[in-house]
Structure 1
Amino acid sequence: MIPKSRLYTLVKSWKNKPFQAVNDASGSTLGSEINNSVGFEAEALWSKRQSISYEPIFNQSGSKLSGALFQPLLQANDSQVLRLFMDGLDAIQYWQSFSKPVPTILPIAAKTLCQPSQVDAISDLVLNSRLPVGLVALGIMNLPPAQFWHDYQSGLARLRRIGLMLHLLHFSGSPQEIKHLDEMRFDGVHLSAQQLRSNLLKHQSIVDLASVCKKNYGAIYIGGISLVSDLTAAQKLAANFCYGGLMMPPVSRHQLLQINDSRLAKAIFSVKPQ
């Protein structure tokens, strides 16, 4: 029988013995690898959710959040499109889970819509997301060359049939764009404040645009609002929605949950007599 003093010494020595992690055949520490892997995944997920990627869109007065523009897709290359498109859908689902549905514009290049495999993949992502119709909009960034026009229209029509909204970004006022807007019945057309500031659009183009939008119940968006004069010009044009630094800079998807109106509307309200 081991004396009490001897037993105490053995237990104390065992308790103070440095921990030895289980190693695999290559000599690496298994526990350390698992912890690092889980840590990296959690950090990547946290980082994705905190990225400043969503530009809030408001009604003309800035008193109501009306949507968001997912910025990373504006500069995406071919290998990034599907992953970023999935991130955009994930954010919409996130807001939906908090009972705050936010219609979101996911920019897409015309060349992507000319590739049947890419159209198939985008269609699968949208259908598997099970999001309500009206929350996901394609923001077409440009029109394709004439030789790819048939493939482009075919891809666009397929995505339209599954319930995606259509927006034309970077409107230039060309007759081809006006005709395309009318044929496909686009839901939104985006102009920039710089175009209005510099009078880059012909009067007839604006008249034609207003006519097509009224006919097809489309909306006019003005982006890049950074000056009060930009907002005044948007109001004269009878734009439906505005976005830009004056309204509110881009935010993370969690921050967007806290938004109800623009900082411009907050400032105006704060100086009004109660």
Structure 2
Amino acid sequence: MSPKSRLYTLVKAWKNKPFQEVRDACGAPWLGISSQALEEHQSWSKRQAISHEPIFNCKGTKLTGSLFRPLITATDMQFLRLFMEGLDAISYWHRSGRFIPGILPVPEHVIASSEYVDAMSDLILNSRLPVGLVAIGLQSMPERSMLSKYKDGLLRMRRLGTLLHLLNFSGCAEQLQWVEEMQMDGVHIDMAQLRKELLPFDALSQIRRPTYSSTQIYASNITLVKDIENAAEWQIDHCYGGLMMPPLSRHQTLQINDSRIAKAIFSLHPHQHPNQNGDK
């Protein structure tokens, strides 16, 4: 190996080095994050990973949020580091003059852990972001054994001013009860499930009742023109997926021109005569 290639390997390893303080954050010593670790985090977060999936209103005329996808598959070792990156992106947009809410997916065992909730609370408070910009995306319902701790974690997140979204909404009675009890700000349905008729349409009509007045409906996995037409017909509030726009870097998200997006998506088809595959 030449000296030049060894230097390249060392630099690459340094850039990809995880943060020891954040990696061990679920233990007591995490609160003492050093200034060096924060500098490493800022440097690391500047790398423009394609991680943020834009969310638009149903007509595609306005960017209404962003889903931070890496947290969906994050391991326990990665979670807090990625949570910091998600908050950093929201702060970046806010400092640049864009009010773009970010949805940060969180698994059920993290919400049920007081140590993780302590860590997330400190990170959210230290971000100094306005209320309404940070949303917690709940990936699944908890097991009965952790139900009480899970609810306590949600209430703590709510008291911080974070929004609560239920991802992977299936329309079952248990989920509807949670949406009403916790006054969820959003529920996310998979359009592929609706296409296969695996999600009861009655669940959408129930979300429209006055008891769920604060809950908005998000349609994910928009991949066909028919999906957009169905979303409009069912009065869904927000849409995201490959047909709307694929995931972007945080800087690309900042540069989204809403009116241009609307023209790109909706001027290509008249919405009246899709073929049997739901595409133009």
TM-score by length of 2: 0.79
Paired positions, count = 239
Q: Deviations over 1:150-177 (max 9, x none)?
A: 0100011011101000000000111110
- Distance (whole Å) between structure 1 residues aligned to residue 261 and residue 190 of structure 2: 19
Which of 153, 164, 167 is residue 166 of structure 1 equivalent to?
Answer: 164
- Distance (whole Å) between structure 1 residues aligned to residue 118 and residue 131 of structure 2: 18
Q: Give the deviation of 1:42 after TM superposition.
A: 10
Which of 176, 179, 184 is residue 177 of structure 2 equivalent to?
Answer: 179
Which runs of structure 2 are paired with 1:49-128 in the superposition (5 Å)? 49-128=47-126
- Distance (whole Å) between structure 2 residues aligned to residue 81 and residue 153 of structure 1: 20
AA of the residue aligned to 1:256: T
- Distance (whole Å) between structure 2 residues aligned to residue 143 and residue 42 of structure 1: 33
Is 1:192 the counterpart of 2:195 in the alignment?
no
Contact 1:186 1:216 in 2 (8 A): no
- Distance (whole Å) between structure 1 residues aligned to residue 131 and residue 192 of structure 2: 32
AA of the residue aligned to 1:253: R
Contact 2:110 2:117 in 1 (8 A): yes
Q: Give the deviation of 1:203 after TM superposition.
A: 3.1
Which residue of structure 1 lines up, in the alignment, with residue 33 of structure 2?
none
1:204–1:132 CA distance, 2 compared to 1 (3 A): same
- Distance (whole Å) between structure 1 residues aligned to residue 267 and residue 200 of structure 2: 36
Which residue of structure 1 lines up, in the alignment, with residue 253 of structure 2?
256
- Distance (whole Å) between structure 2 residues aligned to residue 203 and residue 39 of structure 1: 50
Is 1:154 the counterpart of 2:172 in the alignment?
no
Which residue of structure 1 lines up, in the alignment, with residue 221 of structure 2?
224
Which of 242, 250, 254 is residue 245 of structure 1 equivalent to?
Answer: 242
- Distance (whole Å) between structure 2 residues aligned to residue 251 and residue 262 of structure 1: 18
Which of 194, 200, 203 is residue 201 of structure 2 equivalent to?
Answer: 203
- Distance (whole Å) between structure 2 residues aligned to residue 64 and residue 264 of structure 1: 8
1:128–1:237 CA distance, 2 compared to 1 (3 A): same
| Bigger radius of gyration among the two | 1
Q: Give the deviation of 1:216 after TM superposition.
A: 3.1
- Distance (whole Å) between structure 2 residues aligned to residue 192 and residue 270 of structure 1: 24
- Distance (whole Å) between structure 1 residues aligned to residue 149 and residue 58 of structure 2: 36
Contact 2:207 2:215 in 1 (8 A): no
SS of corresponding position for 2:222:
coil
5+ residue gaps, structure 1: 1-31
Q: Deviations over 1:24-80 (max 9, x none)?
A: xxxxxxxx99xx669944999478531100000000010111110000000011111
SS of corresponding position for 2:100:
coil
Is 1:234 the counterpart of 2:212 in the alignment?
no
Contact 2:66 2:103 in 1 (8 A): yes
TM-score by length of 1: 0.80
SS of corresponding position for 2:116:
helix
- Distance (whole Å) between structure 1 residues aligned to residue 259 and residue 109 of structure 2: 34
Which residue of structure 2 lines up, in the alignment, with residue 14 of structure 1?
none
Which residue of structure 1 lines up, in the alignment, with residue 26 of structure 2?
none
Q: Give the deviation of 1:263 after TM superposition.
A: 6.6
Contact 1:247 1:262 in 2 (8 A): no
- Distance (whole Å) between structure 2 residues aligned to residue 94 and residue 177 of structure 1: 34
Which residue of structure 2 lines up, in the alignment, with residue 6 of structure 1?
none
1:110–1:38 CA distance, 2 compared to 1 (3 A): closer
SS of corresponding position for 2:94:
helix
- Distance (whole Å) between structure 2 residues aligned to residue 270 and residue 199 of structure 1: 27
Q: Give the deviation of 1:218 after TM superposition.
A: 1.4
Which of 121, 132, 135 is residue 133 of structure 2 equivalent to?
Answer: 135
5+ residue gaps, structure 2: 1-5, 18-39, 271-280
Contact 1:70 1:106 in 2 (8 A): yes
Percent identity over the alignment is 47
